[in-house]
Amino acid sequence: MNEMLQRWLSSPVVDDQTKQELIAVAENEKEIADRFGTILSFGTAGLRGVLGAGTNRMNIYVVRHATQGLAKLIRKAGAQACARGVVIGHDCRIMAREFAEEACRVLRANGIKAYLFDELRPTPEVSFAIRELNCIAGINITASHNPKEYNGYKVYWEDGAQLAPEQADVVYDSICSDDIFDDVKVSSVEEMKEKTVILGKDFDEKFLDCVLDCVIDPEAIRRQADMAIIFTPFHGTGYRLVPEALHRAGFKNVTCVPEQMVLSGEFPTVVSPNPENKEGFAIAMKLADEKNADFIIGTDPDADRVGVLVRGKDGQFVALTGNQTGALLLDYVLGARKNTQNLPANAAAVKSIVSTEMAAVICEKYGVKLFNVLTGFKFIGEKIKEFEATREHTYVFGFEESYGYLTGTYARDKDAVAAALLIAEMAAHYRERGMTLADALNALYEEFGVYFERTLSVTMRGFDGPARTQALMERLRTVRPDGFGGVGLAEVFDLNDGVMGLPKANVIYYRLQDGSVIIVRPSGTEPKVKIYVLVRDETRPAAEAKAELLRSDLYSFAGISEE
């Protein structure tokens, strides 16, 4: 019998239900190898994995183990850091509340103050709470938009952004060196409940005040208060605060999708609660037809990402990509702030390097400085912190192609609550001008050309997946192509060398002579290599054809098989 399996079965710490789950699969060598062959990797994005028993699964013992590592990081910061405490939130996922409470138990046993929300809350509110309560850190139990089988564990530091790599390394080193049972301190349930500070709905008011402060043109909302808005939270944490924010801002015709307002980690109405996928909006589209609405807003289970569907000229709904929504919001925010004389002279916007290049020409139009950062919203948070320290720039907007947006500085993670409100305000602005959001996007294309982006994932499953990933990245590092798709190579950057003014990262960046960009990087949370192709052309068909040609050439050059 597998040594680690035997350890779990014989440990007095492990509960009977977990042991029965393991006994049921004990004869399945492949299953046991998958559950115990490794441990869940802990990085700047924390933990994420399938629910179940084992070191390579999400369960209370893995959560306790990670929290003990976080406690070690906090205790190194001193007694004052322990007294400042940790705020803990969670979304609607299976075992989310249990994991949050187990984290509280470990913190209390280590002499660290703990705050816990009384029920599920959006991820950005956790980031906000860290700053509002002056906590040293924060924990959020969520697996974002992953399927129901998953859960996760995100960790934030005192600035409200996710952990820096060196901090994540301290936690991961502790996980690797400390025994999952013997070295983890756990308080009693009674002590945890007695000494944990519970945050209730009154705290939401402070968060909502900041969200409502993001409104740029309240008069546009007042004039279009009757505009029909359809909203779905996909069974998650946006269910209460997104409609509340819309109503308080002045929108009077907000209809929520009833079936998807039901809180459930089973996500019963969708295959995956991902606002990127149009099929998840099937019920919402029917409701939009009934209510004569021209757009639909959907937030993922932890309400940090937002997707938008807009009605086209043919009356059918089209899903905007994260890049398209980002470009629309960037143009609206800068234009509206300029029109209301509220655009700082030193205004700055921030995007990830894999997000649309259209952002550069939009910022140029308004005389705004654009900064590119690595993938991960914590890097946008770092820029906000830098701007506040140097005062050389004033942050006005940041976004990622992965459907994340932030227009204020009250949080340091993407905020779908404020983004939903801003999208509605933007729609009101264009409605006054007889335009839909689809019309607004086409207007951008007419002004700047058609920017088109493709995000591709090359799956690297299996025990040899890491080796194949390494071999792919090594080939790209050592063999320089002449170009792709018949376009010559202008420059290539290996971000492991600390170039482009960015921290070192396992990323290869190609810029072609026509301005097209290809970026290749391994995923930080899944066994995949992510490839981003960013192009511009005069028409949509031409841009799509160019992107496909670049993709095909890259795959051939890198030895990637078509899947």
Active site residues: 144
Strand-pairing partners, residue 522, are 529
In 23-136, at which residue ranges do the beta strands (DSSP E only) sit? Answer: 47-50, 86-90, 114-117
- Contact between residue 112 and residue 229 where contact means Cβ atoms under 8 Å apart: no
* C-alpha torsion sign, points 378, 379, 381, 386: positive
DSSP 457-507: EEE--STTHHHHHHHHHHHHHH---SEETTEEEEEEEEGGG--TT----S-
In the β-sheet with 450-459, what is the strand arrangement from edge to edge? 450-459, 528-537, 517-522, 508-512, 487-494, 483-484
Q: What distance, in Å, lies between the first and last C-alpha atoms of the chain?
A: 37
Report CA-CA distances (Å) from 419 to 49, 115, 405: 28, 26, 6
CA distance 94 to 149: 8
404, 414 Cβ separation under 8 angstroms: yes
In Å, the largest CA–CA distance within the chain is 71
Residue 253 burial (10 A CB sphere; 0-12, 13-18, 19+): middle
Q: Over 286-348, what HEC string results?
A: HHHHHHCCCEEEEECCCCCCEEEEEECCCCCEEECCHHHHHHHHHHHHHHHHHHCCCCCCCEE
CA distance 388 to 394: 8
Query: Are 171 and 155 in contact, with CB atoms under 8 Å apart?
Result: yes
The angle subtended at Cα 214 by Cα 208 and Cα 218, nearest 5°, is 100
Answer yes or no: are the C-beta atoms of 542 and 455 closer than 8 Å: no
The pair of three-digit structure tokens given for residue 270, joined into one six-digit string: 């969708």
Whole-angstrom distance, CA of residue 381 vs CA of residue 39: 29
Residues 6 or more apart whose CB falls under 8 angstroms from that of 314 comprise none
Q: What is the DSSP letter of 268?
A: T
Closest to 436 (Cα-Cα) out of 328, 335, 543: 328
Residue 348 identity: A
Half-sphere exposure of 141 (CA within 13 A, CB side): 32
Cα 351 versus chain centre, distance: 13
> What span, in angstroms and rounded, lies between the C-alpha atoms of 34 and 15?
21
Residue type, 52: G
Q: What secondary structure letter does DSSP report for 412? A: S
Distance, CA of 333 to chain centre: 21
